[in-house]
Amino acid sequence: MASENCFDVTKYPAGNPYEDIGAVINSIIADIKRGQPVSDLNDGGKPGAIIYIPPGDYRLVTQVVIDVSYLKIVGSGHGFTSSSIRFNVPANELRDWHEVWPGGSRVLVDISPEAADGEAAGAAFYVKRTGNPRISSVEFADFCIDGLHFIDDGSGRHEAENTYKNGKTGIYVGSANDSFRITGMGLIYLEHGVTVHDADALAIDNNFIAECGNCIELRGMGQASRIANNFVGAGYRGHSIFAENYGGILISSNNIFPRGASSIYFSGVVRSSITGNRLHSFYPGMLVLADNSCENLISSNHLLRDREPWAPMQKYDNGLDDLFGLLRIDGSNNSVIANHISETIDTQYIKPIAAKPVIINLVFGSGNYIANNHIVATTEKSQSSDAPESACFSTQVGALLATSNLERLEVTAVNVQQGSVRNTVLDSGNDEQVQLDRTMNAFRATPVIGQP
């Protein structure tokens, strides 16, 4: 028996999904509301619906506005491919490429940023509802949201496709919500990939969200949410994962690509866990606990900081120097345990010149426990490359695999700044590598061979 609550955008009788899928989906949502007018009918009443997007290219001119619970919008493929590589390759090379655009069930965001009125106006999918209860169980799964192009930022560089700015957002949730799911999605070339306000029990799992100005942003306040098993990578201006005023977040098993201004940034986040992730960054400030973030666990992560090896992007950075810290903490009673942290960089690129890079920088706080972190700091003379600009993959992988001919780099493994007291630092650096007031903080050095 066919369900009256299942819709295919290509078979819906109103509108043309290839010209404006937004208008079609809005018409479907209006139909859902008309068909489910009663909130309590025979122990049910509003089961919601599924909207299916088959593989294809669908322009979105009209913003989709979602104000019903239990709605799932699903496609048949996240369709991600790198637009950054494509836009930094000479046009004559593209003639031989098999494909140049993302694919799958692909929504092309054609909303004009000039028409934006507030931060939500550039969103392809805008979720918001007032009143009680909170909007619940909205799901986005297995399709692509493509912002198409970035725009010139007025910097004078005339490289619009590398600005990470276009005023576009993939999914914007603007009101309190419960049990949302974002899974299997591909989001690309958006200034903001996913922005969610006031979430409870949100799951962002198994997505490919990259080459966006910012990838995942949890804003307002919230609790008990999970970000796991994603491939994520923001631009040099933004955050790969950002959260503010949340408690009980689980961030685990993500592979976070370099080039984001930060890999993970917490602002006022408490009692949350960052575990088992692989973080790779080209800049300092890759993992930041800011604004009195407290009682968080950071454990069993692999952090790597090195220099951008791909020529078209070497001129960009996040503006931070190497004294900022790879991991920076402003807060109390956090645990930083059993992480592997690697920094490999040619000394000529250290800022300020001749400075000792800081790995873990405890800016302010008490009761923090920093223990058993393995810090590997090395330097290698950078090699010039005549690889073509299309060789982004081989250039990056070659740099990543280079472990021979490395020399030890002098670093400050842990810096506990003045005013930070009652912290414990164990086996995360030797006597020379750890800076702290030993009358106000507990310290045990990593043993050094040949020294008592």
Provide φ and ψ at 145, rounded to 5°.
-120, 115
CA dist 290 → 226, 234, 269, 358, 436 (Å): 20, 19, 8, 17, 20
For residue 162, the 8-state DSSP code is G
Tens digits of residue pLDDT in 255-306: 999 989 999 999 999 999 999 999 999 999 999 999 999 999 999 999 999 9
Task: Please give the Cα distance from 420 to 285 (Å, whole number).
Answer: 19
pLDDT for 114: 62
pLDDT score recorded for residue 401: 66
pLDDT at position 1, please? 35
pLDDT band per the 50, 70, 90 thresholds, residue 118: confident
Supply the mean pLDDT for the chain.
Answer: 93
Q: b vs e for 109-129, b when ≥16 Cβ sit within 10 Å of the residue's Cβ?
A: bbbeeeeeeeebbbbbbbbbb
CA distance 219 to 8: 32
Q: Would you state the pLDDT for residue 156?
A: 80
Which residue blocks in 345-439 are alpha helix, DSSP H?
392-401
Exposure of 353 by Cβ count < 10 A (0-12 exposed, 13-18 middle, 19+ buried)?
Answer: exposed
The type of residue at 438 is R
The residues, any chain, with a CB within 8 Å of residue 101's CB and separated by 6 or more, are 57, 81, 83, 86, 146
pLDDT band at 406 (very low <50, low <70, confident <90, very high): confident
Q: Are the C-beta atoms of residues 53 and 75 closer than 8 Å to each other?
A: yes
Most confident of 106-120, 191-205, 386-400: 191-205
Mean pLDDT of 62-67: 98
Radius of gyration of the chain (CA): 24
**Segment 48-77 mean pLDDT:** 98
Going by pLDDT thresholds of 50, 70 and 90, the confidence category of residue 119 is confident
- What pLDDT shows up at residue 387? 55
Q: 356-370: per-residue pLDDT in tens?
A: 999 999 999 999 999
159-186 average pLDDT score: 96
When pLDDT is cut at 50, 70 and 90, the band that residue 394 belongs to is: low
Q: Please give the torsion angle defined by the CA atoms of residues 357, 362, 368 and 374, in that order, rounded to the nearest 10 degrees.
A: -10
CA gap 149, 168 in Å, rounded: 10
| Distances 425 to 215, 288, 323, 400, 412 between C-alpha atoms, Å | 33, 18, 19, 30, 13
